[in-house]
Amino acid sequence: MVSSNYYNKDEFDEMLAKSLKRHSEPVRTNFTNMVINHIEEERKRELLRKIVLQERFALGLSIALAIFLLSGIIFFGKEIAQVMLSSFNSLRDIPVKTLTSYSPDWQLIIAAIAAIGSVIFAFSDTLNLRQRVIRQLFR
């Protein structure tokens, strides 16, 4: 029969604590390197995910701007042509005259500049991002 002392809480607890503290789990060799590689892969995957998202955004922006410009040409073709023509004519004159001719249609001019600028940005961004992906993957 087990001694009743055995059921003394402290003794059993002490035995349990001692035995469990002696136990340790073997770990795989190279586990640290595997974790570091896993983190590196995850970082690359995250970077790629961001880049794909940015590229999609840039592509969407290009399409939206193309639609915007196309609808502008379809619905306001004459007005745009007039503005462009008058602008072209005025460009030949002195800069003051040019500025004067621009001023009544400044909203249209700003919209056109913004649209063209965005298209240029979208394309340059797309090209730069591709280079970044290549650099990151093959460094």
Partner 1 sequence: MADKDRIPKRGNWLGLLYQGDEDAFADFVDEYQGMVFLCCKTLGLNETEAHDVASETFLAAYQNISKFQAKSKLSTWLWKIAYHKAVDYIRKNNREQSLADEPDEQLADKKIAQVAAELENKEHSQIVWDAVRSLPGDWALAIMLFYRENKTITEISKIMKKRKGTVKTYLFRGRKRLKKLLEKYIESHWRQ
Chain positions contacting partner 1, by CB under 8 A: 1-3, 6-7, 12-13, 15-17, 19-28, 31-32, 34-36, 38-39, 42
**Residue closer to partner 1 (CB basis): 12 or 75:** 12
93 exposed, middle or buried (CB, 10 Å; 0-12, 13-18, 19+)? Answer: exposed
Name the residue type at position 68. F
Residue 90 vs residues 83, 96, 114: alpha-carbon distances, Å:
10, 9, 22
Distance separating alpha carbons of residues 1 and 11, to the nearest angstrom: 17
115 exposed, middle or buried (CB, 10 Å; 0-12, 13-18, 19+)? Answer: middle
**Residue closer to partner 1 (CB basis): 31 or 106:** 31
| Least distance between partner 1 and beta carbon 26 (Å) | 8
**Residue closer to partner 1 (CB basis): 19 or 131:** 19
**Residue closer to partner 1 (CB basis): 22 or 78:** 22
| Least distance between partner 1 and beta carbon 40 (Å) | 9
